[in-house]
Structure 1
Amino acid sequence: MASIAFFSLFLLLLCAHGGAPVLGFTRSDFPPDFVFGAATSAYQYEGAVAEDGRSPSIWDTFTHAGKMADKSTGDVAADGYHKYKDDVKLMADTNLEAYRFSISWSRLIPNGRGAINPRGLEYYNSLIDALVQHGIQVHIMLYHLDYPQILEDEYGGWLSHRIVEDFTAFSDICFREFGDRVSYWTTIDEPNVGAIGSYDSGIIAPGHCSDPFGITKCTIGDSTVEPYIAAHNMLLAHASATRLYREKYQAVQKGVVGLNIYSLWAYPLSNTTLDIEATKRLVDFTFGWVLEPLISGDYPETMKKIVGSRLPTFTRTQSEAVIGSADFIGINHYFSVYVNDRPLDKGVRDYAADLSVSYKTSKNDPPGGKFPPTSYPTDPSGLQLVLLYLKKACGDIPIYIQENGNASSNDTLDDTDRLEYLKSYIEGTLAALRKGANVKGYFTWAFLDVFEFLAGYQSRYGLYRVDFDDEALPRQARLSARWYSAFLKNNGINVQSELNNPGLDAEQ
């Protein structure tokens, strides 16, 4: 199904790329049930890693081992654990309609299973209550690349099927404790990229990889097998948690449960058959890896043929459980790539070697560039094509853009580049809506500067600048925050980028 969808969109791809953007838009151009928000995640935002009963997570271990390029940690991060009330007030002042955040498994259930940490429970209840009181819709990501270290030590985390039971129990507690105020649940963030970064290249905690594929120096792992095992267990855990919610909570709570995918759009570097086929492979390995099991209960034929016995298989019972196990699809989308058919050189990660492709974010980039990139060209047509692809591949399932943002090199408050990126991708979303994509929401990454998993504090995505050199970690509105606030407030007015919101002037 995914393969057919790709080729049916290929002509559209050729026509849309580089085409004229949507000519102006306002908030009222979007449907009444469309929601605009911003996002963060627990480890990246909260800090307070050793406070109030929280146990170490895999990211605490990873960063304290000096694995980040800047040797940074999330020990303090943006200090959201202490500053959330002021931050929620700032969200309200920004006119945010929704906020997407994640639950720290280590904070809520420090031992990975069993007893709930009362202080952790109190924190999330207070955060949710504050959002509700300010009329901000709550979207929760249950797992955002961050589980208790004790589960890694005990059985290897996502490499063991045992995590399915523990993740389901963790989800059960979240549904039970927060579901009276939360209607939008996403089980797992980016199974596709999480598996690659954590178990192939080693650039994401817990940092598994094997020579010659690791980008970092790893002491444990097998890059040829572990990414596929981890992703398989993530899919089973997602299906298990969704089934639990549907059987135990959905009738009363009326909520929905979805799964998140890291998405990018892929253009063939040339119009040769080899490059077009290479692009199709990348789409199968990016989208199909997660989507095809939800549709057919099995992996794409392309993956099965290339990966062979290293790719886990679903039992009949597992296949039936995974099919249809998402009420919506969430995507994290940042950039597009150009793909050509070329086995990569020794030293790159095995996942890409399986694909036998090379990719870059611009046709003019030299081969062998860093991936994921630290900067990338703006391509809102790519987001539009992803949304239309998902409509073709998955039918009319609702789609939420759960992350989209730009790591501006400009750390001042005058972030014109980030603002233009934000505007253009919202335009791309509207264009996809007008072509029939069932998009229900857009969340920019990030609400404020946070600890970034791939770059620590060297990369800034926030609408609000956080001064990490100041112990008080003050928040200051960037131009992008001012525009987003005015856009959301002035429903039928086309807001220009230079407009300011006086309510955002004060340093928080």
Structure 2
Amino acid sequence: MAADKDPSVRFGQLPLTKYTRDLDDPRRRNHGILIGSIIHSPTVRFKCKMIKQKGQIGINIYTMWFKPLTNSTEDAMATKRARDFLLGWILNPILFGDYPEIIKKNAGSRLPSFSYSESQKVKGSFDFIGINYYFAFYVADDPSIPKTGLRDYNSDMFAKFTGYGLGVVDTINEINDVGRITFLSGFIGSVLDSIRDGIDVRGYFIWTFVDGYELISGYSSRFGLYHVNFEDSEHERTPKLSAHWITFLGDAILTIRQCYTCYCTEVTTMDGLGSLVRIQTLQASFHIK
């Protein structure tokens, strides 16, 4: 992938560009959202305080993660550019008060800038950050792309996970979606690892409850825990195996919420015939408050 390119142009696709006047529109709109947070956040917080509500202001970021294809310096730099363009143009301002240097250098005057006052106000203007994460990509440097400067930046980003799911082209009427359970189990384990690493994780949300219409893939990708028969006029809904699994997991967590330590050796559920099915073998202990 050409990691230097505008984040709206990814993998040969131009999603939603027919609704924009030019490729600078996303930059201007993103800047407007950030400036809007400066203007409206204090008002919202004040009103929440006045009516004794514990409201919080946050932003949800659609993204993927990137890893270098090889250990080469070129691939590492390309990966950093990809992260800056897809993540940094939103995260950097609200964490550090300005856009990544690579974006400012590439976009030049086409990128709106923050005044000193705006920079100080936008930094830390959100109470939480949501990462709407789908999957990861390996990134390789493309030598045909003109090289640009890169900020010397050795620290990694932090993440809060609030949304994840698995969209696959399910077999028709597939209910026993063991693959989705394995996928979600891995992500829940990653959230637990983040908590152990000291990340202030407030929660997570699985995308999504039922099969529905996806913006780019239509009805071909199914993210739901419940299967929807789109050929049926009533759109019959049937719980998949993953729905039973997440229900079991939620019930198990509720039973140990009084600050107990749980040691889990395996996760099981019942199949459609009433037989016990082992979903995954685990060797993990965790503490839940």
Partner of 1:466: 228
* CA distance in 1: counterparts of 2:193 and 2:31, whole angstroms: 34
Change (3 A) 1:423 1:292: same
Provide the residue aligned with 2:215 in structure 1.
Answer: 453
Question: Match for residue 440 of structure 1?
Answer: 202
Q: Which residue of 2 aligns with 1:265?
A: 65
The residue aligned with 1:339 is 139
C-alpha root-mean-square deviation of aligned residues, in Å? 2.9
Q: Distance in 2 between matches of 1:355 and 1:332?
A: 29
* Unaligned 5+ runs, structure 2: 1-5, 150-155, 254-261, 274-289
1:280 is displaced (CA, Å) by: 1.2
Task: Count the aligned residue pairs.
Answer: 248
Residue 486 (structure 1) aligned with residue 248 (structure 2): yes
2:109 to 288, 305, 309: 309
Partner residue of 1:125? none
Describe how 1:145-184 pairs up with structure 2 within 5 A: none
- Any conservation in 1 of the 2:170–2:221 contact (CA below 8 Å)? no
AA in 2 matched with 1:496: V
Q: Cα deviations across residues 178-208 of structure 1 (Å, max 9, x unaligned)?
A: xxxxxxxxxxxxxx97xx27xx95423x733
Q: Select which of 264, 267, 270 maps to 1:499.
A: 270
Aligned-pair CA distance for 1:436 = 1.6
For each residue in 1:325-373, what CA deviation from the matched residue of structure 2 results, as whole angstroms up to 9, or x when unmatched?
100110011111111211678xxxxxxx9989xxxxxxxxxxxxxxxxx
Q: Take 2:199 and 2:74, find their aligned partners in 1: how far apart are those partners?
A: 30
Q: Determine if contact 1:284/1:302 at 8 Å carries over to the other structure.
A: yes
Distance, in Å, in 2 between the alignment partners of 1:414 and 1:501 is 9
The Cα shift of 1:230 comes to 1.8
Aligned-partner SS, 2:267 = coil
User: Given the superposition, is the C-alpha separation of residues 469 and 303 from structure 1 closer, same or farther in structure 2, using an over 3 Å criterion?
Assistant: same
Q: Would you tell me which structure has more helix in proportion to its own residues?
A: 1
| Contact 1:298-1:314 at 8 Å conserved across structures | yes
Question: For 2:222 and 2:127, how far apart are their aligned partners in 1?
Answer: 32
What one-letter code is carried by the residue in structure 2 that aligns with 1:404?
Y
1:389 aligns with 2:157: yes
Per-residue CA deviation, residues 281-323 of structure 1 (Å, 9 max, x unaligned), is 1121122211111123211112111221111112334323312
On the 8 A contact 2:66/2:137 being kept in 1, the answer is yes
Asked whether 1:280 is paired with 2:280, we answer no
What SS is found at the alignment partner of 1:337? strand
Give the secondary-structure state (helix, strand or coil) at the position aligned to 2:176: coil
2:27 to 228, 233, 238: 228
Asked if 1:240 corresponds to 2:39, the answer is: yes
Match among 111, 114, 119 for residue 319 of structure 1: 119
1:207 aligns with 2:207: no
Deviation at 1:420, TM superposition (A): 0.9
Cα deviation for residue 461 of structure 1 reads: 0.3
| Contact 1:486/1:501 (8 A) holds in 2 | no
Q: Tell me what 1:110 maps to.
A: none
- Residue in 2 aligned with 1:254? 54
Distance in 2, matches of 1:244 and 1:355, equals 41
Q: Displacement of 1:479 after TM fit?
A: 0.4
TM-score (norm 2): 0.76
Q: Letter of the 2:18 partner, please give it.
A: G
Aligned partner letter, 1:207:
K
CA separation of 1:354/1:421 partners in 2, compared to 1, >3 Å: closer, same or farther? Answer: farther
User: 2:46 and 2:35 mapped to 1: Cα distance?
Assistant: 17
Equivalence for 2:170: 410
Distance 2:245 2:272 in 1: 8
Q: Which runs of 4+ in 1 moved over 6 A?
A: 353-356
- For CA contacts below 8 A with separation 6 or more, give which structure has more relative contact order: 1
Q: Percent identity?
A: 36
Aligned mates of 1:408, 1:342 — CA distance in 2: 29
The DSSP-based 3-state class of the residue aligned with 2:57 is strand
Q: Is the 8 A contact 2:63 2:87 kept in 1?
A: yes
More strand by share: 2
In the alignment, is the contact (CA less than 8 A) between 1:448 and 1:466 conserved in 2? Answer: yes
Residues 254 and 281 of structure 1: is their aligned pair in 2 closer, same or farther, counting only changes over 3 Å? same
* Distance (Å, rounded) in 2 between the aligned partners of 1:354 and 1:233: 29
1:121 matched residue in structure 2: none
1:52-89 per-position Cα deviation (integer Å, ceiling 9, x unaligned): xxxxxxxxxxxxxxxxxxxxxxxxxxxxxxxxxxxxxx
Q: Secondary structure at the match of 1:439?
A: coil
Paired with 2:143 and 2:33, the residues of 1 have a C-alpha distance of 28
Counterpart-to-counterpart distance in 2, 1:343 and 1:235: 34
Residues 413 and 501 of structure 1, relative CA distance in 2, 3 Å threshold: closer
Q: 1:296–1:428: structure 2 CA closer, same or farther, 3 Å change rule? A: closer
Whole-angstrom distance in 2 between the partners of 1:355 and 1:261: 26
Q: Distance in 1 between matches of 2:192 and 2:125?
A: 27
SS state at 1:445 partner: coil
2 CA distance for matches of 1:446 and 1:253? 28
Mapped contact 1:465–1:475 kept (Cα < 8 A):
yes
- Aligned mate of 2:129, from 308, 312, 329: 329
Note closer, same or farther for the CA distance 1:284–1:444 as it changes in structure 2 (3 Å cut): same
Shift of 1:239: 3.3
Contact persistence 1:297–1:323 (CA under 8 A): yes
SS of 2:158 mapped into structure 1: helix
